[in-house]
């Protein structure tokens, strides 16, 4: 039980700090420390993600870093693609899923590191265009959420910052709120497909709630650049390790 709590706490800390769901940390920990298969780790991570989103959004709202309407548009675009992604996850062989997940981790780490150096591409004129961009960002995020068992926070945050001109903290808080319905749809699909380990949830969820609140609070006070470098380094190491594990034994 304590191991599951630590996994949830670690995922919550990183999720709260950077506005991510924490699945990029939780999935490899569930595989490595809890002995889960890759498919079950992805499904279980999505269930836990709902709690990360709730606590993270609450914490960011306390600091005034939350845009409710942006979160609603992101979530609206993500609902159906999240279900599609979860079905694609089950259809993929486990070795290919591990390799794809490792590549995804490395890509996300580069995105997290590069984000501060990208100015907003443009500031859309009119609420209609802004809403369409948020819906499109949500759709891309939802598919990744269901497929990879993660919240897709970096995609949401990058879309909000680069395409619609949101400041980073508001983008992170809004992304956490938007992850709740998208994660719930993906989690429900994985649950029905038998990809959720219900026995670990009583240990994971308390750790997630405490870790996410602590991480979200620290995000507003600690140097963000340092946190991003540490987090990206962990993601790169985990991603490369996952890719090596997915390679055939003769490689």
Q: What is the pLDDT of residues 119-166, one digit of tens each?
A: 545 566 667 888 888 888 888 877 876 776 665 677 788 778 777 878
Q: Are 156 and 175 in contact (CB under 8 A)?
A: yes
Q: Which two tokens stand for residue 171?
A: 């983008």
Q: In Å, what is the CA distance from 241 to each residue of 106, 143, 236?
A: 10, 24, 8
Q: Is residue 112 part of a domain?
A: yes
Q: Which two tokens stand for residue 10?
A: 């670690």
Boundaries of domain holding 56: 2-246
DSSP state of 198: G
DSSP state of 188: H
Neighbours of 202 (CB within 10 A): 11
**What pLDDT score was predicted for residue 119?**
57
Rounded distance between C-alpha atoms, residue 10 and residue 133, angstroms: 32
Helices marked H in the chain — which ranges? Answer: 2-18, 23-32, 38-62, 68-91, 94-114, 127-148, 153-164, 168-192, 201-218, 224-246
Chain-centre distance of CA 111, in angstroms?
13
Q: Specify the residue for token string 């070795």.
A: 95
Q: Is residue 111 part of a domain?
A: yes
**Cα four-point dihedral sign 23, 25, 29, 31:** positive
Q: Are 207 and 4 in contact (CB under 8 A)?
A: yes
Q: Which two tokens stand for residue 1?
A: 């039980």
Q: Is residue 251 part of a domain?
A: no
Q: Is residue 160 part of a domain?
A: yes
Per-residue DSSP letters for 106-147? HHHHHHHHHGGGPPPS---SSHHHHHHHHHHHHHHHHHHHHH
Q: Is residue 150 part of a domain?
A: yes
Q: Is residue 212 part of a domain?
A: yes
Residue of 197, 164, 223, 221 whose CA lies nearest to 31: 197
Q: Residues in the chain with pLDDT < 70?
A: 112, 115-126, 145, 148-152, 224, 227, 246, 248-251
Rounded distance between C-alpha atoms, residue 217 and residue 234, angstroms: 21
Q: Which two tokens stand for residue 208?
A: 């997630």
**Total of domains in the chain:** 1
Rounded distance between C-alpha atoms, residue 68 and residue 34, angstroms: 36
Q: Which two tokens stand for residue 153?
A: 């926070």
**What pLDDT score was predicted for residue 60?**
95
**What pLDDT score was predicted for residue 224?**
64
Q: Is residue 155 part of a domain?
A: yes
Q: Is residue 72 part of a domain?
A: yes
pTM of this prediction exceeds 0.85: no
């Amino acid at each position: 039980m304590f191991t599951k709590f630590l996994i949830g706490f670690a995922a919550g800390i990183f999720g709260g700090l950077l506005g991510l769901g924490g699945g990029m940390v939780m999935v490899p920990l569930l595989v490595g420390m809890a002995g889960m298969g890759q498919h079950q780790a992805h499904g279980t991570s999505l269930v836990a993600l709902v709690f990360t989103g709730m606590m993270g959004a609450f914490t960011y709202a306390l600091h005034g870093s939350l845009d409710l309407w942006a979160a609603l548009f992101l979530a609206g675009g993500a609902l159906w693609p999240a279900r599609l992604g979860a079905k694609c996850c089950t259809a993929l062989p486990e070795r290919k899923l591990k390799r794809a997940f490792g590549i995804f981790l490395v890509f996300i780490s580069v995105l997290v590191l590069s984000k501060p150096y990208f100015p907003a591409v443009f500031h859309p004129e009119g609420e209609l265009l802004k809403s369409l961009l948020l819906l499109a960002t949500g759709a891309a995020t939802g598919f990744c959420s269901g497929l990879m068992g993660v919240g897709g926070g970096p995609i949401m945050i990058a879309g909000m910052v680069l395409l619609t001109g949101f400041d980073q903290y508001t983008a992170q808080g809004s992304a956490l709120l938007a992850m709740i319905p998208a994660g719930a749809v993906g989690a429900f699909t994985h649950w029905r497909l038998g990809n959720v380990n219900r026995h670990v949830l009583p240990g994971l969820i308390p750790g997630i709630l405490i870790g996410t609140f602590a991480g979200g609070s620290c995000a507003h006070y600690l140097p963000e650049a340092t946190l991003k470098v540490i987090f990206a380094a962990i993601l790169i190491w985990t991603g490369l390790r996952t890719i090596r594990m997915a390679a055939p034994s003769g490689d």
